[in-house]
Amino acid sequence: MKPAPFKYIKASSVAHALSLKAEYGDDGRFLAGGQSLIPALNFRLARPAVLIDINGLAELEACDCLEGGRLRLGALTRYRTLERNGDLLRACPLFADALPHIAHPQIRNRGTVGGNLSHADPASELPAVTVAMRARMRVKSEAGERELDAADFFVGLLTTDLRPDEMLIDVTLPVQKPRSGGCFLEVARRRGDFALAGCAAVITLDDGSRCTDVRLALCGVGETPVDASGAAAALIGEKGSDKLIDAVATDVQRGIAPAGNVHASPDYQRHLAGVLSARALRKALQRVAHAA
Amino acid sequence: MQPDRHEVQVSVNGSAYRREVESRMLLSDFLRHELLLAGTHVGCEHGVCGACTVLLDGEPIRSCLMLAVQANGHELSTIEGLAQDTGELHPIQQAMHAHHGLQCGYCTPGILMTMMAFLRENPAPSEQEVREALSGNLCRCTGYQNIVDAMLVAAKAMRASVP
């Protein structure tokens, strides 16, 4: 339970970190909060030759409102900072729902948004939340920068679209629109454990309470966060009746192929995905009604 | 490969230390083996059990999920800093003692450091809030009830001791 030897380099700036990553490629790993990487080092599941410590780089800690109702979270934003940011929690209620599910206070004091998303654990909450919110990821290398949709960022189990010389710089979220409601729910065996299944839902209604936009994403039931917005699109143009929501939930269950794990069979995970989707959609609808 | 060694300067419970250690040394091992502050216990070494919780700049963290070299320039608080030099227990320790909040005591240092930070932020918690704050610390012998009781009493004692 001790990490294999590596070379530790504390980056002095983002430019320095990117030049190190360009030099070492896949042999180098960025060390952010370390709450997934250091366990992997301790188990020797990960044996990078070089650790590039990006902690303390103020350029990555920005957490601010942009024009056009968007919110930017720097990659080094720690969960605890978000939990204490009342403005953010009001602007993005999905985050407020999801944050308490992320491990425990000690982990949330260190863990970062960028580290979580770059690690791309499919059972983790934030990847599903970013997919549901249509977040945009900004990634950078020495060669330049590009932006991509959350849905395109996650490409496989613990795998993102990041190239060996790239770093996730920040993630931009739309602030919740008027007449909208969001909800995140999950089931885990114990408080703070990884979810057996989780669901993020966002619904927007028009003045006649008909659904104009709906987003639904699941965690824990695939190799990446699963975008189930296609199934939920049946709600568009409709008032969210119980019958319609139940039909969406059934459709979600049909569209996923959970692998199962030691704590839950694939059937049980599929069951949970349906129940959570229906509950999250109902709760999101209630919240629109309350906010209006 | 030559060992990758780095100088680490930290303040622990108000005392300054300087050591040169390998980059792969965990903060938990640094405290125990380099500084001989063995009150910080090591349980699972992958961030699940909470036994190694210490305060980094006042915030509870898992010391097994941080490298010693990352603590360079920071302030740490560990269980050794709670009691007075005279041996007088901190109210949080006194409450654990009085309410039988420990049996084997292995998890206790991590629990107390977690709760020190929690009670500072939330001096008058409900029982539910105490349980939520304790959720990241495993104890395999008390059944938690006595720890929860002790923390509610400690919170009261700590409120009373604030002038």
The pLDDT profile of chain B, 163 residues, written as one tens digit per residue, is 789 999 999 999 999 999 999 999 999 999 999 999 999 999 999 999 999 999 999 999 999 999 999 999 999 999 999 999 999 999 999 999 999 999 999 999 999 999 999 999 999 999 999 999 999 999 999 989 999 999 999 999 999 987 6
β-bridge partners, A160: A154
Could you give the ipTM of this predicted complex?
0.94
Please, what are the domains in chain A? 7-53 (3.30.43.10), 60-174 (3.30.465.10), 180-291 (3.30.390.50)
Contacts of B66 in chain A (CB under 8 A): 34, 38, 110
Centroid of chain to Cα A207: 30
Residue of chain A minimizing CA distance to B43: A1
- Please state, in angstroms and rounded to a whole number, the distance separating the CA atoms of residues B102 and A109: 26
Nearest beta carbon to residue B66 from set A34, A105, A191:
A34
> B24 with B57, same domain?
yes
Residues B75 and B133 in one domain: no
Structural domain includes residue B40 = yes
CA angle A96, A101, A107 (to 5 degrees): 105
Q: Are residue B149 and residue B126 in the same domain, yes or no? A: yes
B113's CB contacts (< 8 A; 6+ apart) are B53, B54, B55, B60, B77, B78, B79
Q: What percent of chain A has pLDDT over 90?
A: 88
| Each residue's pLDDT tens digit, A207-238 | 999 999 999 999 999 999 999 999 999 999 99
Q: What is the pLDDT of residue A292?
A: 59
Same domain, B9 and B77: yes
C-alpha distance from A189 to closest chain B C-alpha (Å): 13
Give chain B's domain count.
2
Q: Nearest-CA distance from A278 to chain B in Å?
A: 27
Picking from A85, A111, A91, A102, the residue whose alpha carbon sits closest to that of residue A31 is A111
User: What is the tens place of the pLDDT at every residue in B91-106?
Assistant: 999 999 999 999 999 9
Binary contact (A5, B4; C-beta < 8 A): yes
Using the Cβ of A260 and the Cβ atoms of chain B, whether some distance falls under 8 Å is answered with no
For residue A8, give the nearest of B26, B69, B132 by CB distance.
B69
CB contact under 8 A, B136 and A104: yes
Q: Domain for residue B86, yes or no?
A: no
| Burial track A78-93 (b if 16+ CB lie within 10 A, e otherwise) | bbbbbbebeebbebbb
CATH number at residue B124: 1.10.150.120
Place of tokens 């709450």: A35
What range does the domain containing B157 cover? 91-161
For residue B62, what is the domain's CATH number? 3.10.20.30
Min Cα distance A194 → chain B (Å) is 11
